[in-house]
A = this chain, B = another copy of it.
Amino acid sequence: MPYVTIKMLEGRTEEQKKALVEKVTAAVVETANAPAENVVVFIEEMSKNHYAVGGKRFSDQ
């Protein structure tokens, strides 16, 4: 606790995901008064045909 879910388009590298998880965890520790070992991060990737803004999927653009 806290539990952080990051939903984003697929395509980031493993290095990016590793850094993302580290920096977001550090930001939560710094501001939410939680010890690092209690911070959980989930990444959820979306494909372009499953994500739309304004009624238009990214795979249709």
- Which residues of A are interface residues toward B (Cβ below 8 A)? 1-9, 12, 14, 16-28, 30-34, 36-46, 49-57, 59-60
Contact = CB atoms under 8 A, between A and B. Distances in A.
B54 A37 contact: yes
A18 B53 contact: no
Contacts of A19: 30-31
A26 B26 CA distance: 11
A6 B51 CA distance: 10
Most central of A1, A7, A55 by chain B CB within 10 Å: A55
A49 B17 contact: yes
Given A37-B54, A41-B52, A45-B50, A27 B20 contact: yes
